[in-house]
Structure 1
Amino acid sequence: MRSNGEISHRHVEGDEEAENEVCSSPKVVVGYALTSKKKKSFLQPKFLSFARNKGIFFVAIDLNKPLLEQGPFDVVLHKLSGKEWREVIEEFREKHPEVTILDPPEAIQRLHNRQSMLQDVADLNLSDCYGKVGVPRQLVVTKNPSTIPYEVTKAGMKLPLVAKPLVVDGTAKSHELFLAYDEFSLSELEPPIVLQEFVNHGGLLFKIYIVGETIKVVRRFSLPNISEHELSKVDGLFRFPRVSCAAASADEADLDPNIAEHPPRSLLEKLAGELRLRLGLHLFNIDMIREHGTKDVFYVIDINYFPGYGKMPDYEHVFTDFLLSLVQNKFKKKPAVAF
């Protein structure tokens, strides 16, 4: 917790009254370094107002000045990429171990690679949690697209295949997805890529938001099932939008209960808990599908760091509680001072 109430920053998110208030006796100061797109979607006026009423203030980090000269902060919230920024954060963390960094750059980096991001899921054993969670069979191709048909055949993978860029760097291109119906079209892809077997899932995706210990599930429309008949009639390579970010929510739709039923809560709690530990992250989301025709067979197809929380139900309350708990827990752990 902050005791001296001093802040050297000039730009506090909110109105002039908030700036005067933050200079007197703030409870929690969150320094943030976000892209303009992430700032707009996350730091919405309603959220800023609600957080301010709880004593939480968001201060923009000036990227043109050394981070060590800014603050003081209780929490640093960031979603910027690049080696230079990682070095800045690491230096700040060494000099200010009392500040909570959300999240460590080296942990975030694992989610920038679609091969490493799902490895922890593949290593889990959740068979005793009212369901089974795995990852689709996948193949990483780093060079020479002409060899992709051979590599797919050698790996025994079944068509159709979803093709995704190997590296996730926040650009639109890194979220370009393709569906390959035949092996000949695979040579049109541009490595490095990850190929995943397409799993029929009833056209529905579960987007599982993780904020510390809190789990929220949102249903989104996804790609429809592909029948054997369709597979025999269609060929080629088809580009489709980033499904998990589609605006069309399926939460209010009239859906088949067998498809729409949420994954078991105990399964989600176990999965989220294990991934929090293995990934070393507080803020991420899991894109999960249920294999069509089953009740308890699920696949994780993507994990994203610091997703679009502005689309998560009740995110203002969830995130505010999370930030307060971080600082309160750290305060409780401080050793008592003897007089």
Structure 2
Amino acid sequence: MVREMREEMPYGIEEGGREEEGGFPNTSHKRLVVVGYALTSKKIKSFLQPKLEGLARNKGILFVAIDHNKPLSDQGPFDIVLHKLSGKEWRQILEDYRQTHPEVTILDPPDAIQHLHNRQSMLQAVADLNLSDSYGKVGVPKQLVVKKDASSIPDAVANFGLKLPIVAKPLVNDGSKKSHELSLAYDWYSLQKLDPPLVLQEFVNHGGVLFKVYIVGEAIKVVRRFSLPDVTKRELSKTAGVYHFPRVSCAAASAEDADLDPCIAELPPRPLLEKLAKELRRRLGLRLFNLDMIREHGTRDRFYVIDINYFPGYGKMPEYEHIFTDFLLSLVKGKHKKRSG
């Protein structure tokens, strides 16, 4: 079926041909780009929207669902496999397929994705990078991992030197609803009420705004989202307990059109983001991810990465259809250049 559709559709990737004068494609040398996808039903609904599929088809890209009841090698042929499924069995299937089909681009390597499922290792690449240049400095908040025994948390936090308030996040970041829940603890006693395994991060005042930095290959798109409000010393002295938040940065919390203080709303410098994205693509071995980034309130150039997510909700990213389809075509063109070179 896929082979037949390859022949029927004239647009796609050029194979040994060139564009005619005026920029119109020489369709006799084009072939369809087939992207097999293995995604959750929720991801299919949010990502594979009609506008994306329509634009992709106009560019010669066909999205084909991978059938989990059939061997992957019996399907296709695919140029690209796009996936966001969990489980050891699926990772092994993909690894076997990658070994036997080196000509197919796997987005992204399962082992590299697995690295982001643990919030302890997730931010290590940013910490190791310790990026600092004339445009600013990027780090991670001071953090501590607690795997069990909630009663020991106050002593562990005090010994480690974390200051209140403290943000508590589940250690496992598997994309589930629970993994996006977070808590804010205001006093030492309340720390015992937390539920390990957790990553405890020192809360950094950031003007109540975070930046979602979407990365698709070399493309970068930044949007503002409302976040947790700043905590003053006065509030800290008067507040006690643990406050739970189901999810902070959701689509409903867009801050793009809000009347914000320019010092808070100003996006991180583009050169800084490009340098950060380039280094993280290399260190993480990933091409599809986003960063939750904040600017320390009262500074202009002090930034923190507080979370990294694989294959995030690109449907919320402006112009994602054009960015993503261009990215897919660039992957296949790059493969063809390597082969012909």
Partner of 1:109: 114
Instruction: State the alpha-carbon separation in 2 of the partners of residues 21 and 29 from structure 1.
Output: 9
**Could you tell me how far apart the structure 2 residues matched to 1:125 and 1:178 are?**
27
- Post-superposition shift, 1:55? 0.1
Measured in 1, the distance between the counterparts of 2:197 and 2:251 equals 25
User: Structure 1 residues 298, 279: closer, same or farther in 2, change over 3 A?
Assistant: same
**CA separation of 1:147/1:267 partners in 2, compared to 1, >3 Å: closer, same or farther?**
same
- Equivalent residue for 2:70? 65
Match of 1:241 among 232, 246, 268: 246
- Give the counterpart letter for 2:277 in structure 1: A
Farther-moved stretch of structure 1 (179-188 vs 271-280): 179-188
Residue type of the alignment partner of 1:171: S
Q: Percent identity?
A: 73
Matched, 1:7 2:27: no
1:74 paired residue number: 79
Question: Match of 2:213?
Answer: 208
- Following superposition, the deviation at residue 246 of structure 1 comes to 4.2
- Which structure 2 residue ranges, 5 or more long, are not aligned? 10-30
Query: Aligned residue for 1:290?
Result: 295
Which stretches of structure 1, 4 residues or more, deviate above 4 A after TM superposition? 20-23
CA distance in 1, matches of 2:186, 2:232: 12
Amino acid at match of 2:55: F
Shift of residue 327, structure 1, vs aligned partner: 0.1
Query: For the Cα contact (< 8 Å) 1:221–1:246, is it kept in 2?
Result: no
- CA deviations 1:110-161 (Å, max 9, x no partner) are 0000010000100113222410000000000011111000100100110000
The normalised TM-score by structure 1 is: 0.92
CA distance in 1, matches of 2:47, 2:116: 20
Which aligned pairs between 1:163-202 and structure 2 lie closer than 5 A? 163-202=168-207
1:207 and 1:287 in contact (8 A); partners too:
yes
Check whether the contact 2:251–2:316 (CA below 8 A) recurs between aligned residues: no
User: Cα deviations across residues 39-96 of structure 1 (Å, max 9, x unaligned)?
Assistant: 0000000110000000000000001111111110000000000100000000000000
Structure 1: unaligned runs, 5 residues or longer = 1-5, 9-19
2:17 alignment counterpart: none
TM-score of the superposed pair, with normalisation by structure 2: 0.92
C-alpha displacement of 1:335: 3.6
Q: Distance in 2 between matches of 1:306 and 1:196?
A: 24
Where in structure 2 are the equivalents of 1:24-43 lying within 5 Å? 24-25=8-9, 26-43=31-48
Q: Secondary structure at the match of 1:205?
A: strand
Q: Which moved more, 1:30-39 or 1:242-251?
A: 242-251
Aligned partner of 2:235 in structure 1 is 230
User: How many Å apart are 1:241 and its aligned residue?
Assistant: 2.6
Partner of 1:254: 259
1:299 corresponds to: 304
Task: Indicate the residue corresponding to 2:103 in structure 1.
Answer: 98
Is residue 7–residue 32 contact of structure 2 (8 Å, CA) maintained in 1?
no
Match of 1:146 among 129, 151, 154: 151
The equivalent residue for 1:89 is 94
Q: CA deviation at 1:221?
A: 0.6
Contact kept in structure 2, 1:205 and 1:221, CA below 8 Å: yes
- Please tell me the residue identity of whatever aligns with 2:250: C
- The question of whether the paired residues in 1 share the 8 Å contact of 2:36 and 2:81 is answered with yes
Is 1:314–2:319 an aligned residue pair?
Answer: yes
Once residues 129 and 143 of structure 1 are traced to their aligned partners in structure 2, the CA distance between those partners, rounded to angstroms, is 41
Give, in whole Å, the separation in 2 of the partners of 1:65 and 1:265.
Answer: 45
